[in-house]
Structure 1
Amino acid sequence: MLTAYRNRKAARNANKIKKPVSVELDPVTIPELFRCPISHELMKDPVILSTGISYDRNNIEKWIYEDGNHTCPVTGVALTSLEPVPNHTIRRLIQDWCVENKSYGFDRIPTPRASASSAQVNAVLVLKELLSSDHEKLHEFAKIEGSIETLATLVRKPIDSTTTNASLLAIYHLVTPSTCFNQKKLLISRFHALGLTQKLIEMLVDCTRSVCEKALGVLDGLCSIDEALESAYNNALTVPVLVKKLLRVSDIATEFSVSILWKLSKYEKSVGDDESLAKEALQVGAFQKLVLLLQVGCCLETKEKAGDLLKRWNLVRGRVECIESMDFENLKRSF
């Protein structure tokens, strides 16, 4: 009897204990000042234009350098300078706001690494223009101590898209074969020795259209020597990356990709390999893409190289299970 009474009393006391109340947090609205006008998302690396409007660096650099726009996206006013300037004030405010709202899932945005100074960027841009317009300056530039190493470093350790694009274009003019090929061969060897061949292949896996075109152009120039060809040939990324770029980025990117594949195929034959490159290319859909390239049209040199590759690979095709990897709906997709 006493036990039953105690049990009933314990039950009544338990009912008196207040159950924890679940509190739902109201969603936090990101302040408009902290949103990029292009993506409407929280800015991670805010920069400001000459018009006084701030944007996230990646978005505005794509707007200017890839899309070729010279106006402010918001105001439509022509930009007096195409170089975005870091907005440290907004960045610090965003960082403080993220800390205050950490409980809502906002992580503090990191402080970006120091970007190239205006003088450094301008120097690379001037160098790019100089080398593209005056080929007689190539030899003089190569004599400057540390010049080749500096350009290679700017590509291997990217600072920003402006510097990377300008550096790649400057290197392109230095390594593209011309009448003075013996001189350029020495430059190509130096760039390859600095690890540029492998770095370019890695860059091509995931890069913007602008960088992709220039990186392919430089890689095509580097593949004029056996050392670079051997390095590219032995890299497992090379063939899949090059085949992927065919008909997906731009006409010039396709031309460079075909040229590199053609050089690699010739190299494979010269070293008496077992047609491993041909088999790999066929397995990732290169044959179908080259056939389509001839159908849609291309420049004469590319047409000849594509035809040569098809003839060589057709001999191997019957022994390889080709994978139908073409996506005709996405032929013009950049990357």
Structure 2
Amino acid sequence: MISSWRRRRAARRAQKVVLMAGSSDEEEAAASDQVELLTMPNHFRCPISLDLMKDPVTLSTGITYDRGSIEKWIESGNMTCPVTNQPLSIRSLDVSPICIPNHAIRRMIQDWCVENCSFGIERIPTPRIPVSPMDASEILNNIASTSSRGDRQGCIQSLAKFKSLVRESERNKRCFVTHGAGTVLSSAFKEFSNSSSSSSSSSSLLQENNVIVFEEILSVLPFMFPLDEDARSQLGSPIAMHCIVSLMRSAGLCTRRNSVLALKEIVSSSDSGGNQVEALAVIDGALEAIFELIKEPICPTATKASLVITYHITTLHPTPTNERIINRLVEIGLVNLLVETLIDADKSISEKVLGVLNGICNTELGIHTAYDNSLVIAVLVKKLLRVSDLATDFSVSILWKLLTTRISRNENEVGDDALVEALQVGAFQKLLLILQVGCGESTKEKATELMKLLNLHRDRLECIDSQDFKDLKRPF
């Protein structure tokens, strides 16, 4: 920290010398006056960052710091004053040190900024007072009480206050998380879902007044991720997931994005995620809604969330019901969509797409549909060693399922054509490299078996060309 300050001081001095070099006496005097005017008073600097304080606060030791700097210091586990090394007084309500806003210093800094505005210095804004634990508890209690009474308007008003405070600062967000905001929001969503389901028809789930409160809850819920187990249990109830799926199918883009993020949180973080994945997959229109988010992307975050949900669906424990679910995904065109997406996908998308495709190839219909796609073998071979170790493992597994399944069914002519195609696009060389650089035991066994099959057809074409790998990007 000290060396950084010394470097900045040396840089300022060097800049002063450069400005004054070659100048006349008058210009030199003017430059000297300018440097003098722009010198920041030491008591305006934060002792930690050495930068101008934007929100000065004073600790119990009497030392003033910028709020952001001292909070980072405390969050790192330090409970002493950085300057005096004295222990900090603790507030009993939230077990955090007492930071008193120093309004006098803040006004002095603002006045200094205004006086020097001609030199490009902007006035620091008056900071908002962080939410107190008492205020956070009051807002959350209002959300809980209004949702239990079915008071949509009151709940929406409390949610608006909640959203405004959470967006103001990271500190406010942490305060709400500490007081169980995730559970309160999830419970409120479930309460309104239950009240909606008790109406005369299922279509009333998305009446206008219901949609508004659902959208408001989902808009602030991502701020509370990851949710605890109780919150995931509330949000993952069957009636709540029905409402989320309905919103994914008929609401606006932002709500569809927030809905799929909520579903991802339910299925990927819960200890009982398997049961909730099965419950989600059998909801009418759920698979189609997730498919549409992959086919017509809203944003990368929503696409990745949709792929994660689909991955959990395709990796369910093999049962006749789960196989029918995967076959439904194949029937609506997911395999071809995944192959097309894989062509120009980045690392994160590629890993998720390959994971989903690997799960789909656990079924006979999935293998048959993937094999019928003319691009699948070339694209899979291209992804070997080019994305990541995980993507390579998935690609080898899919190739193994596609090629060995054809051979085992005595479809020799079709299987031979596929092996020749794999040789033509360089599968043998890449599999050999995978074995040389090392891989997991399962991937090693599959790669070895594939190489044995490919080796039978190497005499049918020249398949080794060192130039094929001159631009190969390896993940090691």
**Interval containing the TM-score (normalised by the shorter chain):** 0.5 to 0.7
- Taking only aligned residues, the RMSD between alpha carbons, in angstroms, comes to 2.6
Equivalent positions of 1:106-185 (< 5 A) are: 116-117=253-254, 119-132=255-268, 133=270, 134-178=273-317, 180-185=318-323
Task: Give the whole-Å Cα distance in 1 for the aligned partners of 2:410 and 2:315.
Answer: 24
Task: Give the whole-Å Cα distance in 2 for the aligned partners of 1:326 and 1:297.
Answer: 20
Aligned partner (choices 310, 313, 327) of residue 454 of structure 2: 313
Q: Is the 1:239–1:281 Cα contact (8 Å) retained in structure 2?
A: yes
- Structure number with the higher helix fraction is 2
Q: Is the 1:131–1:174 Cα contact (8 Å) retained in structure 2?
A: no
Q: Is the 1:176–1:184 Cα contact (8 Å) retained in structure 2?
A: no
Q: Is the 1:289–1:326 Cα contact (8 Å) retained in structure 2?
A: no
Displacement of 1:184 after TM fit?
2.1
Task: Give the whole-Å Cα distance in 1 for the aligned partners of 2:256 and 2:316.
Answer: 28
The residue identity in structure 2 corresponding to 1:184 is N
Deviations 1:56-81 (A, max 9, x none): xxxxxxxxxxxxxxxxxxxxx98989
Displacement of 1:321 after TM fit?
2.3
SS in 1 for 2:411: coil
Task: Give the whole-Å Cα distance in 2 for the aligned partners of 1:190 and 1:278.
Answer: 29
Change (3 A) 1:271 1:215: farther
Task: Give the whole-Å Cα distance in 2 for the aligned partners of 1:185 and 1:200.
Answer: 19
Map of 1:220 onto structure 2: 358
Q: Is the 1:262–1:305 Cα contact (8 Å) retained in structure 2?
A: yes
Q: Normalising by the residue count of structure 1, what TM-score does the alignment of the two structures yield?
A: 0.62
Task: Give the whole-Å Cα distance in 1 for the aligned partners of 2:362 and 2:294.
Answer: 20
Q: Is the 1:262–1:309 Cα contact (8 Å) retained in structure 2?
A: yes
Map of 1:242 onto structure 2: 380
SS in 1 for 2:457: helix
Task: Give the whole-Å Cα distance in 2 for the aligned partners of 1:115 and 1:255.
Answer: 37
Deviations 1:174-208 (A, max 9, x none): 00153x44332111101001100011001111111
Displacement of 1:230 after TM fit?
1.7
Task: Give the whole-Å Cα distance in 2 for the aligned partners of 1:206 and 1:115.
Answer: 28
Asked if 1:254 is matched to 2:395, the reply is no
Q: Is the 2:294–2:303 Cα contact (8 Å) retained in structure 1?
A: yes
Displacement of 1:142 after TM fit?
1.9
Q: Bigger shift: 293-302 or 121-130?
A: 121-130
Aligned partner (choices 189, 209, 223) of residue 347 of structure 2: 209
Q: Is the 2:384–2:395 Cα contact (8 Å) retained in structure 1?
A: yes
Map of 1:287 onto structure 2: 428
Displacement of 1:273 after TM fit?
3.6
Map of 1:12 onto structure 2: none
Q: Which has the larger radius of gyration?
A: 2
Q: Is the 1:154–1:167 Cα contact (8 Å) retained in structure 2?
A: yes
Task: Give the whole-Å Cα distance in 2 for the aligned partners of 1:251 and 1:264.
Answer: 20
Higher relative contact order, structure no. (Cα contacts within 8 Å, ≥ 6 residues apart): 1
Deviations 1:47-105 (A, max 9, x none): xxxxxxxxxxxxxxxxxxxxxxxxxxxxxx98989x9xxxxxxxxxxxxxxxxxxxxxx
SS in 1 for 2:456: helix
Map of 1:229 onto structure 2: 367
Task: Give the whole-Å Cα distance in 2 for the aligned partners of 1:245 and 1:300.
Answer: 20
Aligned partner (choices 306, 322, 327) of residue 463 of structure 2: 322
SS in 2 for 1:311: helix
SS in 2 for 1:330: coil
Q: Is the 2:311–2:356 Cα contact (8 Å) retained in structure 1?
A: yes
Deviations 1:125-150 (A, max 9, x none): 12112112311112211221111111
The residue identity in structure 2 corresponding to 1:322 is C
Asked if 1:331 is matched to 2:331, the reply is no
Change (3 A) 1:115 1:308: farther
Displacement of 1:323 after TM fit?
4.7
Equivalent positions of 1:59-70 (< 5 A) are: none
Q: Which runs of 5+ in 2 are unaligned?
A: 1-168, 174-219, 223-250
Q: Is the 1:247–1:254 Cα contact (8 Å) retained in structure 2?
A: yes
Displacement of 1:306 after TM fit?
0.4
Displacement of 1:326 after TM fit?
3.5
Q: Is the 2:431–2:447 Cα contact (8 Å) retained in structure 1?
A: yes
Map of 2:120 onto structure 1: none
SS in 2 for 1:310: helix
Paired residues, what number? 226
Q: Is the 2:385–2:392 Cα contact (8 Å) retained in structure 1?
A: yes
Q: Is the 1:155–1:168 Cα contact (8 Å) retained in structure 2?
A: yes
Displacement of 1:271 after TM fit?
5.1
Q: Which runs of 5+ in 1 are unaligned?
A: 1-76, 84-113
